[in-house]
């Protein structure tokens, strides 16, 4: 993150996210290798589907891990608006510019995720456009972290939005029990 009085640049993924993605890519490679080596075993034809499935899942996991490790993204917030950039391997870099005049509000949105009997809440920072569309551009583990970043973004957009961040949309509020 780079911050000055009139400019905020968020750069991702973080080093921790890159390490996790690299680990996933490595594990995917191991699974793919195991599945392919088990294909050589002398087993009946229908049973060869199991190692084939392991190889396919491992290859997919490796591909996603490599993409997340090598790819990059950034968000730049200035008084003129937001510039979102991202680059994936073997693809051209993409850029989306959102003029400050198009921004209606900056909000914190909570998203609940459930897997394997566990659930977690992620707080996403989203820009709401005048047409009613919203675009999430950063996620945090706690509401307080997300709201602090929201305040930083609003300070850079102060010419267009009031510090409360409310246009026609509601401002971010602390969720119950949050």
Q: Minimal CA–CA distance to 123: which of 96, 105, 150, 100?
A: 150
Residue at 171 is within a domain: no
Residue at 25 is within a domain: yes
Give residue 5's pLDDT. 81
Cα separation, 148 vs 123, in Å, equals 12
State which H helix or E strand residue 95 sits in: strand 94-99
Indicate the pTM of the whole model. 0.71
| Residues 62 and 110 occupy one common structural domain | no
| Residues 61 and 90 occupy one common structural domain | no
Residue at 21 is within a domain: yes
Q: Tell me the pLDDT tens digit for each residue of 94-140.
A: 999 999 999 999 999 999 988 888 999 999 999 999 988 999 999 99
Contact 157, 77 (CB under 8 A): yes
Query: How many domains would you assign to the chain?
Result: 2
Cα separation, 113 vs 10, in Å, equals 24
| Residues 94 and 131 occupy one common structural domain | yes
Q: Minimal CA–CA distance to 135: which of 115, 161, 168, 109?
A: 109
What is the extent of the structural domain holding 35? Answer: 16-70
Q: Tell me the pLDDT tens digit for each residue of 51-86.
A: 999 999 999 999 999 999 999 999 999 999 999 999
| Residues 146 and 92 occupy one common structural domain | yes
CATH code assigned at 97 = 3.30.730
Among residues of the chain, what percentage have pLDDT more than 90?
Answer: 65
**Whether residue 23 has pLDDT greater than 80:** yes
């Amino acid at each position: 993150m780079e911050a000055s009085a009139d400019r905020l640049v968020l750069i991702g993924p973080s080093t921790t996210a890159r390490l996790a993605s690299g680990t996933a890519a490595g594990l995917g490679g191991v699974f793919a290798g195991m599945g392919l080596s088990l294909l050589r075993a002398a087993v009946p034809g229908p049973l060869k589907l199991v190692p084939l499935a392991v190889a396919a899942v491992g290859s997919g996991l490796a591909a996603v891990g490599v993409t997340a490790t090598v790819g990059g993204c950034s968000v730049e917030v200035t008084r003129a608006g937001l510039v979102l950039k991202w680059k994936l391997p073997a693809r051209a870099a993409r850029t989306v510019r959102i003029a400050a005049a198009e921004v209606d509000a900056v909000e914190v949105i909570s998203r609940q995720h459930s897997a394997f009997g566990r659930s977690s809440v992620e707080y996403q920072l989203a820009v709401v456009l005048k047409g009613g569309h919203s675009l999430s551009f950063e996620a945090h583990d706690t509401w307080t972290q997300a709201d602090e970043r929201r305040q930083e973004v609003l300070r850079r957009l102060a010419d267009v939005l009031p510090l409360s961040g409310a246009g026609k949309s509601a401002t971010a509020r602390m969720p119950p029990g949050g």
